[in-house]
Amino acid sequence: MAALRCVLPRSDPGARRGDHRFLGARRIRREPADAAGARGVGAAARVPGGDRRPRARPPARGGRGGARGVVIWGAVYAGLLGALLVRVRHPGAPPVEPARATPGEPIWLVNLHHLLFYALLAGAPLERALAGGAETGRAPGAVCFALGVLGYRLAGRALGDALSPFIEPRAGVPLVTQGPYRCLRHPMYLAQAAIAVGAPLTLGCRWILVLVPLAVLVLALRVKLEDDALARTFPEYWRYAARTKRIVPFVF
């Protein structure tokens, strides 16, 4: 036994690391007795599927809903807004005489009309910046917005010098019956209703849509008052009204 103690190396108690032991001068590491069940150690760690813990998946990329979506839909909104508001005139064209309100003109209705639409067009990007926006409904909203801008431009072009923000028609201009006015008496208001709905949806806005019913109500009131004003101004208006619809093609 004494000879064996001299030949065999003794274990170093200070070399313990967890459940493993280093023996001898070369510090050979020996697995613990329960290595088969230890996590990441022994045969169980080398068997495929031994550790079936689910791993966290990387977050999905935002696609249209991230910063890229903000830029794309913001650019669409800005482009349509510019097409709506910016007017281009030929340099040689004579300046248009500004429209003037006649006595009895409901100025309050004109101001409310403009205020509501400015609030919708300016409030949509403000809501998007402060509260974010929904990801659904943007593409249909952009289509509705674009159709509204197109209809507004076509109606304004057909009106020409007869275009006015007031209820009473301009003095000295004829009754417009060409272009979209061939089948509708108030196509510009149909276009404005499409803009009121489509502009907020393009940016994913929802809260600002509470103004849409009030805007549509103002448009309906203007349609009624303008029908009466046009009938007073143009004797042939009722014949024109008999073969056209007010605001919805083939319906109303």
Place of tokens 């509501």: 116
pLDDT of residue 63: 39
Has residue 183 been placed in a domain?
yes
Helix ranges (DSSP H) in 61-211 = 67-85, 107-131, 138-159, 187-202
* Residue from 215, 161, 168 nearest 191 by CA: 215
Has residue 197 been placed in a domain?
yes
Confidence bin at 59 (pLDDT 50/70/90) = very low
Has residue 97 been placed in a domain?
no
3-state helix, strand, coil in the chain (%, to 5): 55, 5, 40
Domain with 186 in it: 105-242
State the DSSP code for 155: H
Has residue 75 been placed in a domain?
no
Higher pLDDT, 103 or 62: 103
State the DSSP code for 33: T
Q: Is 4 a residue whose pLDDT tops 50?
A: no
Which CATH number does the domain housing residue 210 bear? Answer: 1.20.120.1630
Confidence bin at 61 (pLDDT 50/70/90) = very low
C-alpha to C-alpha distance for 36 and 196, rounded to whole angstroms: 70
Has residue 44 been placed in a domain?
no
Q: Is 241 a residue whose pLDDT tops 60?
A: yes
Has residue 66 been placed in a domain?
no
Q: Give the model confidence (pLDDT) of 127-164 as tens digits.
A: 998 988 888 889 999 999 999 999 999 999 999 889 99
Has residue 203 been placed in a domain?
yes
Has residue 220 been placed in a domain?
yes
Could you tell me the pTM of the whole model?
A: 0.71
Tokens encoding 148: 């509204």
C-alpha to C-alpha distance for 202 and 74, rounded to whole angstroms: 8
Domain count, the chain: 1
User: Are 120 and 200 a contacting pair, CB within 8 Å?
Assistant: yes
C-alpha to C-alpha distance for 133 and 203, rounded to whole angstroms: 6
